[in-house]
Amino acid sequence: MESAKFRTVAQSLLKDSAFADFVIKCGEKEYRVHRFILSCHSDCFKKCFEGEFKESGSKVIEIMEDDTEAVDLIIGYFYAFDYSDEPKPDAKLGSPMLINTAVYAVADKYDVSDLKTLAMKKFGVAVGKAKERAQDTLTAINTVYETTPPSDRGLRDICVDSWMLGTYDVGTPETKEHALRVLQDLPQFAADITVKVAELSQGLRVGRACTCHPQWFNTISVHDAVKHEWVDGRVHIEYPYDVPQFWSTK
């Protein structure tokens, strides 16, 4: 109850700028925010408030290079502890996957770890629901690999996992051509797929190694699996006896 009350009060602060003590400018929008609230979420903003902005006395920051839609969602998250990944009409980010990818990138830039975790979870859920929208998934994969460094495996692992599991349909000439173009344009993604296939073919468990589509079960000697499904951005596998699960979410 207390937590729900705090969230309600926090959300009201974003709408009421009476006690706001800082301004964030992004595109044509201005957000009157509270340094204390932002500092609780982001070490990056906290360091700015305690450092250069405190010394200069400035109470305005411009972040024009960031995606405006993602910034709008991240500001809302600071006060509501959540955000919606439903696309708005005529929005540039036209799918939940693209929205979560953009939020993840901005959260990473400003060191908002809890929001990164939430964006990753929402991204995984969105991918699992996108089987009939292969074009959206392939576009999201392209965006993920363009906006995240190789060392950040959060969204990249989900992209690789979804590709291996065939969680989208590339049965049409258009989507198949797009899929081939993604592999050609993103050599790092193609390399990640190759490594994953090698792990599976050898029956190894390396890091977040995974099972894949049922057609691979005989190859990796887990053909006795009785259930295989994509749930909340992760694969869940059931066996009739106790065997190692090749897909680890740890």
Tell me the pLDDT of the chain averaged across its residues: 76
**pLDDT, mean of residues 23-27:** 90
Is the model more confident about 178 or about 55?
178
State the pLDDT confidence band at 248, using cuts at 50, 70 and 90: very low
Q: Which residues contact 133 (CB under 8 A, 6 or more apart)?
A: 95, 168
β-bridge mates for residue 25, sequence order? 30, 62
With b for 16 or more beta-carbon neighbours within 10 A and e for fewer, the 180-192 pattern comes to eebbeebeebeeb
For residue 121, CA distances in Å to 19, 96, 125, 204 come to 33, 12, 6, 26
Q: Are 179 and 170 in contact (CB under 8 A)?
A: yes
Residue 88: per-residue pLDDT: 87
Residue 220: per-residue pLDDT: 36
**pLDDT, mean of residues 171-183:** 80
Tens of pLDDT, residue by residue over 63-112, are: 888 889 999 999 999 999 999 999 988 888 888 999 999 999 999 999 99
One DSSP character per residue, 97-152 reads: HHHHHHHHHHHHHTT-HHHHHHHHHHHHHHHHT-TT-HHHHHHHHHHHHHHS-TT-
Domain ranges for the chain, please list them.
66-238
Tens of pLDDT, residue by residue over 129-149, are: 876 567 778 888 989 999 999
State the pLDDT confidence band at 59, using cuts at 50, 70 and 90: confident
Q: Which residues contact 201 (CB under 8 A, 6 or more apart)?
A: 219, 220
Q: Length of the chain, please? A: 250
Is the model more confident about 7 or about 142?
142
Amino acid present at 203 = G
Q: What is the DSSP letter of 87?
A: P
Q: Which of these, 51, 15, 48, lies nearest to 33 by C-alpha position?
A: 15
CA distance 211 to 148: 25
CA distance 83 to 100: 10
